[in-house]
Amino acid sequence: MLCPVCKESMVVLELNEIEIDFCTRCSGIWLDAGELELMFDTEAERKNLVESFHKEPDHPEKHYKCPICAKKMIKVHVGDEKQILIDKCKKDHGLWFDKGELKTVIQFGSKEENKIINLLKEMFESSISTNDKGENK
């Protein structure tokens, strides 16, 4: 599958028995329909999250094409504050998350520490930093 942003091939990663498509270039994530809901521990969390989606079809941010059907996706705000903006296939093939957006959506939708958040931290956040001389801190 090609990344809708960079057009590079994405790699398939298994995250707690859920397959996600990850772009190593832009760090975007594609989730097929229904996979986001599987990341939540309770049915109430799943329902609340899905009900918090608000379509923003005229949003000025660039609209990407679905990597499955190649149709232009719509912008969707997550939550009442409209702080998180993701891309959703009009034909419900799935959701596109730019770098860091999936983690933010899961934190928004989960009331407790979520096992998926911990896995995302392990997979995508580097715990090693370097100083100006290139030495590990």
pLDDT tens figures, 86-135: 999 999 999 999 998 998 888 887 766 666 666 666 665 543 333 344 44
3 state DSSP class of 102: helix
Quick check: is 92 in a domain?
yes
Per the domain annotation, does 3 fall within a domain?
Answer: no
Do 102 and 15 contact (CB within 8 A), yes or no? no
Domain span including residue 97: 11-124
The two three-digit tokens of residue 84, written as one number: 């998180």
Lowest mean per-residue pLDDT among 17-26, 48-57, 76-85, 126-135: 126-135
User: pLDDT (tens digit, 9 = 90+) per residue, 33-64?
Assistant: 999 998 888 888 888 888 889 998 788 889 99
Kind of pairing, strands 74-78 and 53-55? antiparallel
Cα(104)–Cα(97) distance, integer angstroms: 10
Structural domains counted in the chain: 1
User: Residue 130 falls within a domain, yes or no?
Assistant: no
